[in-house]
Chains A and B, each alone.
Chain A
């Protein structure tokens, strides 16, 4: 364990903040620290908050934080806002609604920009959650970027996913579509003092009732809230507590951890493999000629990719077996 790692385990917020920035900026040395911290993770409870832009995610995160602090729990917040596709800049404004916690040493807030990553999180989100976990935060709240219908990455990262719905966002067909409405562990009809709240609630309830739940399986409750006035937050946290109990039942927690492990591994592999493939092609002087051939329509990207993939893997190095002994799993010759 290096010095930065030890300081973070001891709760040094500045060291943690610097490591988080380094991870977000993809500084290679930061990964070394994270490797050492990784086995100290897995203790925090991770709560995802997602919903359309303006649904009240930041306001709700602020309220939840207040209530959890009263229980004496320490809190980490990861709040994600979009990066401009034109300038690469971003305005990260989620702190505005959380400033009452700015001086509370039990609350650590990190604002992140998506930096072109799709799925509702930033590429670095899992890394940063891991740092907060290693710091000893009891609960980590992840506020996704304002989502549409398909940004569902949060489902694999959080123990409990809150999906915020606000009244007046379209007809009932919206509620039967796939996507974010499928990932909720708890639905929150926020701004429920507005017209159309009852209708929105009925639509979501109908949608939930159309799904088949097995015996003992979690059925997402549909709750009403007005985050701006703190209405409904206590009931919401009671539902979170019930889901917490459910997740910690025998078997469920391991399943969750394995799924999260899968996402972590796949995400890191995705980045690393693409990077390595492209830079190796380039280093061997192959990239530009291949691109030129494609531009002239002499070669197609499917064949090139197949060849690159077939010649890249050496799984036998992972488990000591000979190449070719891995069956299935997309390896065809």
Chain B
């Protein structure tokens, strides 16, 4: 994952820094299994992303409030509790209310295949299921999420 080339980060020549992608990674709901979320956070860090990690047991309101204060480009959620059909749409609703439609919402976890098209229709950009490699998620973030203008 981490390539120790030391490229880009420790800025030797003072040039205007480009925008960095900022993504909030959090775990809404009641399940306490945060290993997956932590691995994603770490992988995105290694891909050069600034990850705001908010931890466990987040309500949709907490996630959207943090996303607003941190001005993130994307929100990645790990949901293993089965409550995805409530949590994702509620977060989308809150993002719309706050005029934060430009924030890309994606997620993963134990989510039945039948539910995925419904979630996507409601505005979830992408849902990853068990078996997804870390590289797939990193590639998705790099291709899909751009720092805002």
A83 contacts the other chain (CB 8 A) = yes
Contact of A103 among B2, B48, B61 (CB under 8 A): B61
The answer to whether A17 and B69 touch across the interface, beta carbons within 8 angstroms, is: yes
> How far, in Å, is B38 (CB) from chain A's closest CB?
9
Contacts of A86 on B, CB cut-off 8 Å? Answer: 2-6, 9, 46
Contacts of B52 on A, CB cut-off 8 Å? Answer: 92, 95, 111
Q: Give the nearest-CB partner of B57 in chain A.
A: A99
Contacts of A230 on B, CB cut-off 8 Å? Answer: none
> How far, in Å, is B1 (CB) from chain A's closest CB?
9
Q: How many angstroms from the CA of A21 to the CA of B148 in the assembled complex?
A: 10
Q: Give the nearest-CB partner of B38 in chain A.
A: A91
Number of A interface residues in the complex (CB < 8 A):
36
Contact of B71 among A21, A96, A103 (CB under 8 A): A21
Contact of B44 among A89, A111, A115 (CB under 8 A): A89
The answer to whether A89 and B50 touch across the interface, beta carbons within 8 angstroms, is: yes
Q: How many angstroms from the CA of A110 to the CA of B50 in the assembled complex?
A: 13
Q: Give the nearest-CB partner of B22 in chain A.
A: A21
Q: Give the nearest-CB partner of B63 in chain A.
A: A102
B131 contacts the other chain (CB 8 A) = no
Contacts of A27 on B, CB cut-off 8 Å? Answer: 19
A14 contacts the other chain (CB 8 A) = yes
The answer to whether B2 and A113 touch across the interface, beta carbons within 8 angstroms, is: no
Interface residues of A, dominant DSSP: mixed
A108 contacts the other chain (CB 8 A) = yes
Per-residue contact bits, chain A 49-89, to B (CB 8 Å; 1 contact, 0 not)? 00000000000000000000000000000000001111111
Contact of A116 among B9, B42, B48 (CB under 8 A): B9
The answer to whether B68 and A14 touch across the interface, beta carbons within 8 angstroms, is: yes
Contact of A99 among B6, B11, B62 (CB under 8 A): B62
> How far, in Å, is A213 (CB) from chain B's closest CB?
40
The answer to whether A91 and B41 touch across the interface, beta carbons within 8 angstroms, is: yes
Contacts of A84 on B, CB cut-off 8 Å? Answer: 2, 9, 45-46
Contacts of A17 on B, CB cut-off 8 Å? Answer: 68-71
A225 contacts the other chain (CB 8 A) = no
Contacts of B116 on A, CB cut-off 8 Å? Answer: none
Q: How many angstroms from the CA of A89 to the CA of B42 in the assembled complex?
A: 9
Q: How many angstroms from the CA of A93 to the CA of B15 in the assembled complex?
A: 28
Contacts of B68 on A, CB cut-off 8 Å? Answer: 13-14, 17
Most buried by A among B14, B48, B98: B14
Q: How many angstroms from the CA of A13 to the CA of B70 in the assembled complex?
A: 10
A271 contacts the other chain (CB 8 A) = yes
B49 contacts the other chain (CB 8 A) = yes
Contacts of A44 on B, CB cut-off 8 Å? Answer: none
The answer to whether B47 and A87 touch across the interface, beta carbons within 8 angstroms, is: yes
- Beta-carbon contacts under 8 Å, B70-84 to A: 70-71
A109 contacts the other chain (CB 8 A) = yes
A163 contacts the other chain (CB 8 A) = no
Q: How many angstroms from the CA of A13 to the CA of B99 in the assembled complex?
A: 13
Contacts of A109 on B, CB cut-off 8 Å? Answer: 66, 69-70
- Known contacts A86-B4, A109-B66: does B11 contact A116 (CB below 8 Å)? yes
Q: Give the nearest-CB partner of B100 in chain A.
A: A14
Q: Which residues of B contact A (CB under 8 A)?
A: 2-6, 8-11, 13-20, 22, 41-42, 44-55, 58-59, 61-62, 65-66, 68-71, 98-100, 147
**Ranked 6 nearest A-B pairs via Cβ:** A88-B9, A96-B55, A89-B45, A21-B71, A102-B62, A17-B71
